[in-house]
């Protein structure tokens, strides 16, 4: 297996639309979760979300924009940023050996929602002709392939909240084993349609709104946590063999060392300690490192009652007595749950944190929970502490658990 | 009265950002960057603008002039017989 370098990072998120902004906001503990300013907000019990400040018209001309759902715009913008930042990863490459690997949970749900509103809300048959092309989950990856003329595998993964961790992991395998020379990998999600917001509310997994400070509504690992908050955005990486990246003088932003998968196979929503622990162990095995080499973890940390206790127990199961010495960051408290893009954004945050010697905080950790008694880096970033190796965990409804092993680059 | 060609040109200028001087009756749609997929969307916009219902059968419209003749014929036919060509379209009744 070849070593795999990360040579480009692109991001659209509630914490900003560049690696620099995202890192600055995350290390300052600033939350990108805000009160939703849409007409439909009055029909939501908790009108909050992690929203990306993304001007669609500034980034896409009208002809292009009307073929793109917002999730595809996020993906394209982030992929272009990553390619540009890689300083030539796609120059002098056989484009049949470049792949696109993208995770999304809900695909073009805004487009589909708009179509249904026409059909049922307006009682009209005037469905827009591009609804299928904009709504399909594979659209975002397809557009990235078209934009850069990439003729290798173009794959979309949909395993709910682990989709983009799976996409990055699968891309890593293809590059590591020698099948591909470059991969663009990550995820994109734009889930803030009325239908989707209402459906998540109906499932009773979303947080109640903090009346005093809506931005503090998501509180992972805090005893007073009340659920997750939806977020939107994309994270995309350019990955390539280590030797190729160094040979062309690329700035290496980190390394993907391995990836583990497991399936709970028990319940459609309830997470399992065994399943989460198995994914972490499988990740360590694939990276050929022992648990002693993990310095820090970006937790799945959704802020739901069920996840946070289960994840804490799973970390203890894998790391034993050392678990309490491993700093754990639950960054969803700041950016919300980006569903299919969550794993990619958290992978980006982990790489940036290692590169810039900071442990990112779990903000809004107001009340210790006896069932969540590890070191979650509560409320304040720890500056000057560089983790060398991190796990980034993504655990999904449906039971597909995916864990990436990442190494920093200074 | 505004001609069909002028109304069609207005849609093309507005939605496709095309320069008006490029729009002539013998201009192939392909040369304007409107491929078969683009034509599907153009026809959808035409339905709204002209208050007509297009048949669902495939139709070959290589040039702007072909589109104009096709639309004129449908406007005439559907003015004589206002029943929709295919399916129901409640949204159209309000236009």
Question: What pLDDT, on the 0 to 100 scale, is given for residue B1?
Answer: 61
Task: Respond yes or no: is residue A309 known to be catalytic.
Answer: no
Q: Which domains does chain A have, with CATH numbers?
A: 4-247 (3.40.47.10), 258-407 (3.40.47.10)
Q: Tell me if residue A385 falls in helix, strand or coil.
A: coil
Q: Kindly determine whether residue B89 and residue A126, on different chains, have CB atoms separated by under 8 Å.
A: yes
Domain CATH number, residue B35: 1.10.1200.10
Spans of chain B, pLDDT less than 50: 86-95
A124 in contact with B at a CB cutoff of 8 Å? yes
> Residue A241's closest CA among A299, A170, A176?
A176
Q: What are the backbone angles phi and psi of residue A376, rounded to the nearest 5°?
A: -95, 15
B69: distance to nearest CA of chain A, Å?
Answer: 22
- Written as tens digits, the pLDDT of chain A (410 aa) is 999 999 999 999 999 999 999 999 999 999 999 999 998 999 999 999 999 999 999 999 888 898 999 999 999 999 999 999 999 999 999 999 999 999 999 999 999 999 999 999 999 999 999 999 999 999 999 999 999 999 999 999 999 999 999 999 999 999 999 999 999 999 999 999 999 999 999 999 999 999 999 999 999 999 999 999 999 999 999 999 999 999 999 999 999 999 999 999 999 999 999 999 999 999 999 999 999 999 999 999 999 999 999 999 999 999 999 999 999 999 999 999 999 999 999 999 999 999 999 999 999 999 999 999 999 999 999 999 999 999 999 999 999 999 999 999 97
Q: Which domain holds residue B53?
A: 4-93
Q: Tell me if residue A298 falls in helix, strand or coil.
A: strand
Per the CB < 8 A criterion, the answer to whether B51 and A83 are in contact is no
A78: distance to nearest CA of chain B, Å?
Answer: 26
Question: What pLDDT, on the 0 to 100 scale, is given for residue B90?
Answer: 40
B51 vs A contacts (CB less than 8 Å): none
Question: What pLDDT, on the 0 to 100 scale, is given for residue A294?
Answer: 98
- The vertex-A181 CA angle with A179 and A186, nearest 5°, equals 95
Within 13 A of A80's CA, how many CA atoms are on the CB side?
14
Task: Respond yes or no: is residue A218 known to be catalytic.
Answer: no
Question: What pLDDT, on the 0 to 100 scale, is given for residue A352?
Answer: 98
Give the integer Cα–Cα distance in Å for A72 and A109: 11
- B interface with A, Cβ–Cβ < 8 A, is 15-17, 33, 40-41, 44, 47-48, 87-92
A43: distance to nearest CA of chain B, Å?
Answer: 26
Q: What domain count does chain B have?
A: 1
B89 vs A contacts (CB less than 8 Å): 124-126
From the candidates A300, A335, A347, A372, give the one annotated as an active-site residue: A300
B16 vs A contacts (CB less than 8 Å): 63
Give the integer Cα–Cα distance in Å for A69 and A217: 28
Per the CB < 8 A criterion, the answer to whether A245 and A9 are in contact is no
Q: Kindly determine whether residue A129 and residue B90, on different chains, have CB atoms separated by under 8 Å.
A: no
Instruction: Show the tokens assigned to A229.
Output: 């908050």
DSSP calls for A21-72: HHHHHHHTT---EEE--SGGGGG-SS-EEE-----HHHHS-HHHHTT--HHH
Does the reported pTM lie above 0.90? yes
Q: How far is CA B26 from the centre of its chain?
A: 15
A64 in contact with B at a CB cutoff of 8 Å? no
Task: Respond yes or no: is residue A356 known to be catalytic.
Answer: no
């Amino acid at each position: 297996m070849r070593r795999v370098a990360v040579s480009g990072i692109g991001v659209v998120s509630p914490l900003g639309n560049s690696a620099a902004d995202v890192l600055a906001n995350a290390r300052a503990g600033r939350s990108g979760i805000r009160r939703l300013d849409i007409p439909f907000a009055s029909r939501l019990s908790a009108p909050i979300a992690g929203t990306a400040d993304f001007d669609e018209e500034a980034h896409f001309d009208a002809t292009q924009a009307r073929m793109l759902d917002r999730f595809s715009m996020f993906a394209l913008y982030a992929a272009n940023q990553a390619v540009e930042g890689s300083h030539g990863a796609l120059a002098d490459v056989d484009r049949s050996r470049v792949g696109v690997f993208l995770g999304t949970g809900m695909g073009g749900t805004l487009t589909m929602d708009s179509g249904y509103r026409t059909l049922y809300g307006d009682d009209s048959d005037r469905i827009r002709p591009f609804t299928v092309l904009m709504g399909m989950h594979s659209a975002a990856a397809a557009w990235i392939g078209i934009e850069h003329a990439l003729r290798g595998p173009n794959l979309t993964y949909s395993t709910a909240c682990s989709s983009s961790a799976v996409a990055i992991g699968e891309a890593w395998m293809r590059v590591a084993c020698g099948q591909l020379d470059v991969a663009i990998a990550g995820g994109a999600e734009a889930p803030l349609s009325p239908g989707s917001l209402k459906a998540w509310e109906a499932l009773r997994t979303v947080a109640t709104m903090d009346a005093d400070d809506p931005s503090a509504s998501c509180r992972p690992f805090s005893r007073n946590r009340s659920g997750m908050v939806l977020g939107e955005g994309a994270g995309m990486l350019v990955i390539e063999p280590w030797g190729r990246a160094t040979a062309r003088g690329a700035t290496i932003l980190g390394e993907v060392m391995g990836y583990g998968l497991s399936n709970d196979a028990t319940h459609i929503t309830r997470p399992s300690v065994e399943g989460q622990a198995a994914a972490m162990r499988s990740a360590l095995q694939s990276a050929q490192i022992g648990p002693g080499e993990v310095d820090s973890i970006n937790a799945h940390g959704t802020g739901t009652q069920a996840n946070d206790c289960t994840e804490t127990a799973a970390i203890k199961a894998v790391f034993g007595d050392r678990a309490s010495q491993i700093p754990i960051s639950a960054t969803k408290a700041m950016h919300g749950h980006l569903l299919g893009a969550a794993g990619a954004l958290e992978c980006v945050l982990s790489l940036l944190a290692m590169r810039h010697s900071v442990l990112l905080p779990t903000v809004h950790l107001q009340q210790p929970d006896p069932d969540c008694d590890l070191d979650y880096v509560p409320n304040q970033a720890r500056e000057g502490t560089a983790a060398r190796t991190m796990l980034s965990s993504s655990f999904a409804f449906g039971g597909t658990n995916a864990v990436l092993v990442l190494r920093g680059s200074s | 009265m505004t001609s069909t060609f002028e109304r069609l040109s207005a849609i093309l200028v507005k939605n496709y950002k095309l320069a008006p001087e490029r729009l002539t009756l013998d201009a192939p749609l392909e040369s304007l960057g409107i491929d078969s997929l683009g034509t599907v969307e153009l026809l959808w916009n035409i339905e709204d603008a002209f208050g007509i219902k297009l048949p669902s059968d495939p139709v070959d419209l290589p040039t702007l002039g072909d589109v104009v003749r096709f639309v004129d014929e449908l406007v005439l036919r559907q003015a004589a017989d206002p029943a929709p060509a295919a399916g129901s379209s409640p949204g159209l009744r309000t236009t």
